[in-house]
Structure 1
Amino acid sequence: MSAHGISTVYFFKLDDTGKIIKGTDGLSDTGIYEADGNNEGFTSINITGLEVAGTNQWANDKIKRVTHGKAEPKVALTALDLDHDILMKMKGYSKDSKGGFIKGKKKPHIAMLVVSTGFDNETKVYEGLANTEIIEEASNHSTDNNNESDSNTTLSADVLNPLDPTVFADPNDPEHQEPYKIWFSDETGFDLAAILKEVGGGYTAVDGGSSQSIAATTTTTTANS
């Protein structure tokens, strides 16, 4: 279905087995980071390469077969603002004791869940990527004059297959796994908590702290389904 806007975006940092990382080494105490703070959020998110055009196979002067390659999704993101400490963690930069950050040798596994709204303004659309590597290719600036010259954060993400073989597996063929999955809140059985757990490497909401907004979102969105 068609959709509009960006409602919110959730991020998770995962270990090499696809399990959520919490605390100092993760993106928050509970492991989840919602990019929706003061001045914070995304102005555009474009996911490409979800499917590959087929290649015609000819025989007897006719198209007899169409072969399809593997999907190779990529994500382009532009943020109005992001917490710089979280951004450095998502990019895999190491922090020193003097306020500095430097790119580490290994990119972390970052899962993300992008939420938009259907044109009925009731249905929520959730697009999940359970394993990405995020890069910020350039840092561009220009001078202020009688107008302020803003430089927004521009990121890209290479999308890999989920690390856990049970994540994003085809229910009709469990051995078939894809790097991308989509959900609609008006579908029977829709469960946001289950989505966050699948995308986020086992994330579960707990009482208190930063998880309250997630719990509230779960209740509200389920009520709209």
Structure 2
Amino acid sequence: MANIGLKRIYVWLVGSDNKVLTGTNGLSDDGVYVVDTDANKGNLGLKTANITGLSGTVTKIAGNNVVVAVSNPPSAPSVAIDANAINFTIKQRLLGRVETSVKGAYVDGETIPKAGLIIESSSPTTGKSVFYGFGIGQFTEASQNVQTNTDTAEQRDDDNLTFTALGCPHFPNESPVIFGNAAENGFTKNAFFDLVAPGQTLVSASQDKTPGNVSASASALSGATTTLAGGGTTHPDTGSGNTH
């Protein structure tokens, strides 16, 4: 889908029943965690979410000296995420790291947990939200490059994660990815979220609890979590929930 910008991503952990884990077993009471721009929550938003592998590599099949068919292998999507900062604890849990006896110190766990991901952008023609949904997959982190500051420059290294999508049993044909467009007649954000992240309560028919983006200055002045809109108002992109 053509898109403009990157509004936010939504992440969650997936249980053995392929449903969203909530509460202490998950990433939030609602199950789904929004990586917003609120520094008070340890987030500074994303730069990119680069999706690759949406189609398999087509192979030509020859017979009698001509191409008679092509193979159509399944897609194998992955997402390279470059974030300015993701909440430290949330990131550790997505990667399957476990806290040691020292509070705030984590080591790799025995397994990488299953997780889910939704990327939200905007349509260049309607201005409404478009969504890329991955019901099941795994997050990994390959490297971290720590550099010295100089007398003229501050060296930052981002949170870079890779999400590898897996076949999702609650998608038709167990597809690894599903696409949503809020401009389509009959589309609702809560129905899309219930399909991609069954068991979540962040978005319902009556309320969208997605937080709005917060500027660095507003975050610093508030000293507390800030959203740009209260609950229960109309969502301009999807017709439900908060205003962003």
1:202 maps to 199
Q: Could you list the runs of 5+ residues in structure 1 that have no partner in the other structure?
A: 170-175
Distance across 1 between alignment mates of 2:127 and 2:203: 27
RMSD: 2.2
CA contact (8 A) 1:94 1:101 kept: yes
Runs of 4+ in structure 1 over 6 Å off: none
2:228 maps to none
Among 137, 141, 147, the alignment partner of 2:142 is 137
CA contact (8 A) 1:133 1:157 kept: yes
Distance across 2 between alignment mates of 1:182 and 1:88: 28
Amino acid at match of 2:36: D
1:172 maps to none
Structure 1 pair 36–62 and aligned structure 2 pair: CA distance change class (3 A): same
Matched, 1:192 2:189: yes
How far is the alpha carbon of 1:206 from its aligned partner? 7.5
Moved more, 42-51 or 215-224: 215-224
How far is the alpha carbon of 1:211 from its aligned partner? 6.2
Amino acid at match of 1:168: F
Distance across 2 between alignment mates of 1:13 and 1:137: 20
Amino acid at match of 2:33: Y
Distance across 1 between alignment mates of 2:238 and 2:87: 29
2:111 maps to 106
Matched residue count: 213
How far is the alpha carbon of 1:119 from its aligned partner? 1.2
Match of 1:21, SS state, is coil
CA contact (8 A) 1:193 1:218 kept: no
Greater strand fraction, Structure 1 or Structure 2: 1
Match of 1:81, SS state, is coil
TM-score calculated relative to the size of structure 2? 0.81
TM-score calculated relative to the size of structure 1? 0.87
CA contact (8 A) 2:2 2:123 kept: yes
Matched, 1:156 2:162: yes
Among 215, 219, 223, the alignment partner of 2:235 is 219
How far is the alpha carbon of 1:82 from its aligned partner? 0.8
